[in-house]
């Protein structure tokens, strides 16, 4: 059973989610596939000639252009649906355990979630624990954040956890759940020709991953968006550099997407938390949000801050909405005070007594 927030009130399963669209049209894929990113050609980690893979489920290859269908391939014809789920919504029906779409859109549009410019890099291709397994492209946050040095480089793919933690803090509804490690599924029910073929396939994939990792994280802004997808310019902090719509639309377009299902995107939300990310105020809020992760087994938050860390308190950020609201209003000092849990004020009060 999916690790939903409240199973007793989650009445109907659904496929709606917030995430990234990584689709890309390719010469060997479905002719109607659309390109939402040009940074990574996922066909390079597929096996369309079935040199290593013997069989799959009916869907065949899900990314790298999708499946063209007969007579090119004899799997179900389908457009590229490459995506990364950040938060599963399920349905837009509160009576079924979901959340109204209009409320989700409003929350994001009003800037209650800080959306950074999304830059990602694939970190691995793995087989999940299923039998037969699914093959997945992983987008892990590596290495862990450095909570002792506020100016240390941020880990790869930090933006995904940063957004997910905010969504989970802000949105409480029964069917909400964490879809596991950040990943894009390549293939389902992968049967390899032999153990040697399996090893050769993953060796091939690792060479591509190493190349991508050497190149570093990349923005995944779409060159063009279908007119049926509504583009939302989310409210931004008043102290963001050059907050003009023209500046944003030209340079910072790598945001998040709202999906009804993997083949149906309704909204694209542009970033409202812009680079650079090495200012004291931004680092404070980033590390404050990243210091926890959702434990899907126990359905609770757990700290990822080492006990020896002196910079970030191990206590929860108890009022994340206020923290974000202060930033959006341009109050950097309030953000820094809130992010450190008011430790300075506590120390002053102790001295006064």
Residue 52: pLDDT band (50, 70, 90) is very high
Tokens, residue 45: 């980690």
pLDDT at 290 > cutoff 60:
yes
Tokens, residue 142: 């590596």
Mean pLDDT over the full length of the chain: 89
For residue 177, report the phi and psi dihedrals to the nearest 5 degrees. Answer: -155, 165
For 8, 74, 105, 250, 320, the CA distances from 233, given in Å and listed in that order, are 36, 42, 11, 13, 22
CA gap 160, 221 in Å, rounded: 15
- Predicted confidence at residue 322, as pLDDT, reads 77
Tell me the percentage of the chain whose pLDDT exceeds 70: 86
Q: What is the pLDDT of residues 205-235, one digit of tens each?
A: 999 999 999 999 999 988 788 999 999 999 9
Q: What is the DSSP-derived secondary structure letter of residue 39? A: S
Residue 99: pLDDT band (50, 70, 90) is very high
User: Which stretch of DSSP H or E encloses residue 135?
Assistant: strand 135-138
Closest CA to 234 of 334, 163, 169, 289: 163
> What would the mean pLDDT of 271-295 be, rounded to a whole number?
93
Give me the residue label for tokens 């959306």.
Answer: 115
DSSP string, 190-259: -EES-HHHHHHHHHHHHHHHHHHHHH--EE---S---TTSEEE-----TTSSS--HHHHHHH----EEEE
- Predicted confidence at residue 222, as pLDDT, reads 87
Q: Lowest mean pLDDT of 85-99, 130-144, 336-350, name the range.
A: 336-350
Q: What is the value of pTM for the model shown?
A: 0.89
């Amino acid at each position: 059973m999916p690790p939903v927030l409240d199973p007793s009130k989650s009445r109907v399963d659904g496929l709606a989610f917030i995430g990234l669209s990584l689709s890309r049209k390719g010469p060997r894929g479905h002719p109607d596939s659309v390109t939402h990113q040009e940074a990574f050609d996922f066909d390079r980690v597929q096996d369309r000639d079935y040199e290593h893979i013997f069989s799959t489920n009916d869907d065949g290859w899900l990314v790298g252009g999708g499946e063209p269908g007969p007579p090119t391939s004899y799997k179900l014809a389908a457009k590229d649906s490459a995506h990364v789920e950040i938060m599963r919504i399920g349905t837009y029906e509160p009576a079924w355990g979901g959340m109204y779409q209009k409320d989700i859109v409003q929350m994001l549009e009003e800037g209650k979630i800080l959306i950074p410019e999304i830059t990602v890099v694939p970190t691995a291709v793995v087989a999940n624990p299923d039998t037969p397994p699914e093959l997945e492209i992983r987008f892990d946050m590596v290495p862990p954040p450095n909570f002792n040095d506020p100016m240390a480089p941020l880990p790869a793919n930090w933006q995904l956890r940063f957004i997910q933690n905010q969504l989970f803090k802000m949105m409480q509804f029964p069917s909400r759940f964490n879809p596991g490690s950040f990943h894009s599924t390549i293939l389902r029910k992968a049967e390899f020709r032999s153990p040697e073929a399996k090893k050769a396939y993953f060796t091939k994939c690792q060479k591509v991953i190493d190349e991508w990792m050497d190149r570093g994280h990349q923005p995944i802004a779409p060159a063009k968006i279908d007119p049926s997808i509504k583009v939302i310019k989310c409210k931004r902090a008043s102290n963001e550099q050059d907050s003009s719509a023209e500046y944003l639309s030209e340079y910072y377009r790598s945001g998040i997407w709202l999906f009804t299902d993997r083949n149906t995107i309704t909204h694209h939300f542009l970033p409202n938390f812009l680079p650079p990310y090495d200012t004291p105020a931004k680092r404070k809020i980033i590390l404050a949000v990243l210091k926890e992760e959702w434990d899907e087994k126990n359905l609770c938050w757990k700290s990822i801050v080492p006990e020896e860390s002196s910079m970030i308190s191990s206590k929860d950020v108890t009022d994340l909405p206020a923290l974000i609201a202060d930033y959006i209003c341009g109050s950097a000092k309030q953000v820094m005070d809130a992010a450190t849990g008011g430790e300075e004020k506590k120390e002053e009060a102790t001295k006064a007594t």
